[in-house]
Structure 1
Amino acid sequence: MDWGKGITLTIIGFVVLIMTMVVISVRMDGIELVTENYYEEEIKYQDRIDESNSAMKLDREVISYDAQSKVIELDLPNGTVGTLQLFRPSDSSLDQTIKVEVTHSGKTAVPVKQLKSGYWKVQLNWSENGVDHYQEKKITI
């Protein structure tokens, strides 16, 4: 075999390899953005930082997870209204949003036994004494 044939076969092999990789990546399922309205969320990001800072000033852990009983406990005062988002990074079809209304004193329990095992992000938005707060916790069920 001479140099010309070797170079030609190498180029053809390289093109076939690249085309195979392109076809595989185009057919791949499960590639999802974190959120559908990504740019709007990016604009609101400073508000999220401010809400997170105000939650840190509360000097209490608002979200806690009990792995044995598979319950998320929220330490919120009576009359608090908020939103609890259960975010599954690997599969957005499993995401859930739960409205939270605290009508009693003490911790509020949110059972998560029905959720698929794996990594979850728990995001809580709430308003307390006229101030908006945000806290996030990563859990493994």
Structure 2
Amino acid sequence: MKFNWGTGVVLAFIGFITFIMYFVISMFSSENFKNDLVTEDYYGAELLYQNDINKIKNSEELTENVSYLQTSAGLKIVFPKEFDSKKITGKVFLYRPSNKQLDFETSIVSLSDSNLLIPDKRLVDGRWNIKIDWQYKGNSYLFKESIIY
């Protein structure tokens, strides 16, 4: 068989197509490249996003907003001291972007003081997205932030 430029072009095309097929198959079959949506009902959550915007606006109008501190015991969430802590309700959601199995939600039922402690054993070092959706006397507030623990 004689090797000429036509044979080289055909072999180059076959090599390129083989490489692309290998790349596509390995991307679809590998567990390292699985990407999930943040929520299962992404589009339904997007329609309710205006409520979140209103809650964030309410939070920004407070004289003192929710804050957090990293302590040796864990993550301490501090609510505004001007509010009666027994009347604060809501949920704290911690989302780990790199591992969905580490995500968890904690309810804010009745606080004895204006602090909520998330134990250190529940938090792995790294990046977390924290979302605190809380209510006080019929008003809803939302605090969102990315933290490095």
TM above 0.5, yes or no, is yes
Flag as ranges the 4+ runs of structure 1 deviating above 6 A: none
CA 74–110 in structure 1, closer or farther in 2 if over 3 Å, else same: farther
**Unaligned residue ranges in structure 2 (runs of 5+):** none
Amino acid at match of 1:21: F
CA 137–117 in structure 1, closer or farther in 2 if over 3 Å, else same: same
Q: Give aligned-pair identity as a percent.
A: 26
1:15 equivalent in structure 2 = 17
2:125 equivalent in structure 1 = 117
Paired residues, number: 141
Report the Cα offset of residue 52 of structure 1: 0.8
1:5 equivalent in structure 2 = 7
The structure that has the greater radius of gyration is 2
State whether residues 93 and 105 of structure 2, in contact with CA within 8 Å, keep that contact through their aligned partners in structure 1.
yes
State whether residues 96 and 103 of structure 2, in contact with CA within 8 Å, keep that contact through their aligned partners in structure 1.
yes
State how far apart, in whole Å, the 1-side matches of 2:4 and 2:63 are. Answer: 76
State how far apart, in whole Å, the 2-side matches of 1:112 and 1:86 are. Answer: 13
Report the Cα offset of residue 47 of structure 1: 1.0
Correspondences of 1:88-127 after superposition (within 5 Å): 88-127=96-135
1:33 equivalent in structure 2 = 37
- Give SS of 1:36's match: coil
Moved more, 22-31 or 58-67: 58-67
State how far apart, in whole Å, the 2-side matches of 1:63 and 1:49 are. Answer: 19
Give the TM-score taking structure 1 as reference length. Answer: 0.90
- Per-residue CA deviations over 1:53-99 (Å, capped at 9, x if unaligned) read 11111132303132554323231532111000010111111110100
State how far apart, in whole Å, the 1-side matches of 2:115 and 2:138 are. Answer: 20
RMSD between aligned residues:
1.7
Given the alignment of the two structures, is residue 54 of structure 1 paired with residue 58 of structure 2, yes or no?
Answer: yes
Give the TM-score taking structure 2 as reference length. Answer: 0.85
